Amino acid sequence: MVEPSNGAKKDLRRLNHELSVLNEIARQLNRSVNLGEALAFTLAQVAELLGLRTGWIWLMNENSSEPYLAAAQNLPPALSEDPRRMDGSGYCYCLDTYKRGDLEGAANVNVLTCSRLDGLVDGTDGLRYHASIPLYAGEKKLGVMNVASPGWRSLSPEDLQLLYTVGDLLSIAVERARLFAESTRLGAVEERNRLAREIHDTLAQGLTATALQLESADALLDAGSERAHEPLRRALSLTRSNLEEAKRSVLDLRAAPLEGRPLSEALRALVDRWEAQTGISARYRAVNGSRPLPPSVEAALYRICQEALTNVARHAEAGRVIVRLVATPERVRLAVEDDGRGFETSKVPGDRHGLIGMRERAEVLGGELEVYTEKGAGTRIEATVPLEKL
C-alpha cells in the first residue's frame, strides 16, 4: 500500500475542513429563519474558512430592487464610522456590474478594486480589493457577498468554487427567510383585523350606548336641579372622548400606518404632506433606506416621527425641520431636528403624553429615545432601535 504524500495529506485535511464548514453553514441556515443571524453566521464562517477578515452582504429590496447593506463583519473604520459610504444607493462598481448581469457563475466571481475605499488613505485597515460573489434564486437577483482581507492573495479555482457553493446556500436561506417574514406579516394583518372587529363590536358599541343614555338623562333633568347636570355632562364628554379614541384604535388596526409602503417611502410622504400642511420647510434624508425592517420597528418609528412633527407644529415655532433615517445591519436611527425655540427638559410637564408615548414605543423594541434641546437652540428627537435580535 502506497503511503499518501505530505501534499496529498494536506489537501485531504483541507477538503475535510471545507466540507465540515459547508455542512455547518447548511445546518445553521436551515435552522434559522432570522435573516440577519443567517447572514452574519455565513460571513463569519467564510472568513474563517478562507482567512479573509472582512466581509459584507448586499441584498436587493424585493419591492424597489434597490440594494441595501444587510450584514457586515469587521468593516474598516472608514466604512463602519461613516454609514453614508455603505449606502446602497451610492456608486459601487461591483453592484453596478451585478445589476447589469455581468457577475454570473463561479467563473466570473471577480476580485475587484473596492470603489468605496478608492481614494481613502486613513481608516481602511489596508483593504483595497474584495471578491464579489453573486447571489441568485434562479434568474432572480438577490444580492452580492463581498469578502476582503489586507494583503490580498489570489483565489484559487477551488476557493472560487467554494465561495460559489456558499453563495448558493445563502441564496436559499434568503428566499426562505423572506417567505417566512411574509407569512408572519400576513398573520399580523389578520390579527389586527380581528382585534379591530372586537373593539368595534364591544367597546365602541358599549360606549355609544352609554353616551345615548347620558344624553337622555341630561334631557330629563332639564326641569330639575342644575347641580345634576354638571357631573352628567362631564361623564358625557368623557364617554365621547373615549368613543373617539376607540374609533381611532379601530382605524389604526385596520390599516397599518405605512399603508403597505416601505418605511423610508412612508416617511418621505409624511414629511412632504406635513410641509404642505404647516408651511414649515422640511427635508427628508435616508442612508440605506432600502433596507427592509421588521413591521413592528417600521410602525413604531413612523409613529414617533408623526408625533415629533406634531410637536414641532404645535410648540417649536420652527422655520426648518430635517428628518433623517440611518439603517445599518446592527441598528436603525431616526432623528427629527428643528431650528425652533427649544425648551428646558426639566420643565416639561410629567403628563406630556407625546414624549412619553414616543419613548415607550422605542423602549418596547429594546431601543431608546433621546431628546437634545435647550432654550432658543432648537430640538432634536433621536430614536435608536437595535436590529440584531429582532
**Four-CA torsion 320, 321, 326, 330, nearest 10 degrees:** 130
Residue 106, pLDDT score = 35
Mean pLDDT over 91-101 rounds to: 79
Query: Which residue type does 123 have?
Result: G
Picking from 311, 297, 309, 303, the residue whose alpha carbon sits closest to that of residue 364 is: 297
Answer positive or negative: Cα dihedral of 293, 297, 303, 309.
negative
Q: Can you read off the three cell numbers belonging to residue 160? A: 472560487
Residue 129, pLDDT score = 73
> How far is it, in rounded angstroms, from Cα 21 to Cα 42?
10
Q: What is the pLDDT of residues 325-382, one digit of tens each?
A: 999 999 999 999 999 998 877 666 554 557 888 999 899 999 999 999 888 889 999 9
Residue 108, pLDDT score = 41
Domains located in the chain, CATH noted: 6-183 (3.30.450.40), 259-390 (3.30.565.10)
Is the pLDDT at 89 greater than 50, yes or no? Answer: yes
Q: What percent of the chain has pLDDT over 70?
A: 69
Length of the chain: 390
Where helices occur in the chain by DSSP H, the ranges are 6-31, 35-50, 77-80, 93-99, 157-199, 205-220, 229-254, 263-278, 295-311, 353-363
> How far is it, in rounded angstroms, from Cα 370 to Cα 374?
13
| Cα separation values, 247 from 109, 201, 203, Å | 56, 11, 10
Is the pLDDT at 88 greater than 60, yes or no? Answer: yes
Mean pLDDT over 238-247 rounds to: 64
Mean pLDDT over 297-319 rounds to: 91
Residue 169, pLDDT score = 85
- The strand pairing partners of 379, in sequence order, are 338, 373
Mean pLDDT of the chain: 79
SS3 readout for 136-202: EECCEEEEEEEEECCCCCCCCHHHHHHHHHHHHHHHHHHHHHHHHHHHHHHHHHHHHHHHHHHHHHH
Q: What percent of the chain has pLDDT over 90?
A: 24
pLDDT band at 267 (very low <50, low <70, confident <90, very high): very high
Q: What contacts 328, CB < 8 A, 6 or more positions away?
A: 69, 72, 83, 86, 288, 387
Q: What is the pLDDT of residues 41-77, one digit of tens each?
A: 888 888 778 777 888 999 998 888 889 999 999 888 8
Burial class (CB in 10 A: 0-12, 13-18, 19+), 341: middle
**In contact, 295 and 188? CB cutoff 8 Å:** yes
Q: What is the pLDDT of residues 164-192, one digit of tens each?
A: 888 888 888 888 878 777 766 666 556 66
Quick count: other Cβ atoms within 10 Å of Cβ 265? Answer: 17
For the whole prediction, is pTM greater than 0.75?
Answer: no
pLDDT band at 102 (very low <50, low <70, confident <90, very high): low
Residue 277 or 35, more confident = 277
pLDDT band at 25 (very low <50, low <70, confident <90, very high): confident
